[in-house]
Amino acid sequence: MIRYTLNCADGHGFESWFQSAEAFDRLHAAGHVACAVCGSEKVTKTLMAPSVRPARKAAKPKAPSLTKPANKMEEAVAQMRRQIEANSDYVGLNFAAEARAMHEGDAPERSIYGEARIEEAKSLIEDGIPVAPLPFLPARKAN
């Protein structure tokens, strides 16, 4: 197996594993290698260094924390989540119905968040009801 770091024509960077260099070449030539972000098939390999296994006596690297944000982006998303959860009502799977009721004046306006199927979200947007996806899973779906 070989891991390549790839870029698309739009500048998105991503990684992918291939059985071999020849397998990458075959898949790329057949148009089966696409950007993981935008789907573009105009993908190129970037310069990369081989992965070398450390000596057995070398100290093991410290395992990353799974409870703390790993970078500034994760910290920003965690802060956003705390802000939303502290200042909004979680309405779960009733999000679409609650948002529509508030828009139509059948329920008091308040900040809510929850879950909606893609069809429900599209219908809300088409009807002029402002909604936005959140960059995190609901607590019931997260580990």
Answer with the residue of higher pLDDT: 47 or 114. Answer: 114
Burial (Cβ within 10 Å: 0-12, 13-18, ≥19) of residue 99 = buried
What percent of the chain has pLDDT above 90? 52
Query: β-strands 43-45, 89-92: how paired?
Result: unpaired
Q: What is the DSSP string of 40-81?
A: -S-EEE---PPP-PPPTTSPPPPPPPSSS-SSHHHHHHHHHH
12-44 pLDDT per residue, tens: 988 888 888 899 999 999 989 998 888 889 999
110-123 pLDDT per residue, tens: 999 999 999 999 99
Of 31, 45, 39, the closest CA to residue 10 belongs to 39
Average pLDDT over residues 111-140: 91
Give pTM, 2 decimals.
Answer: 0.52
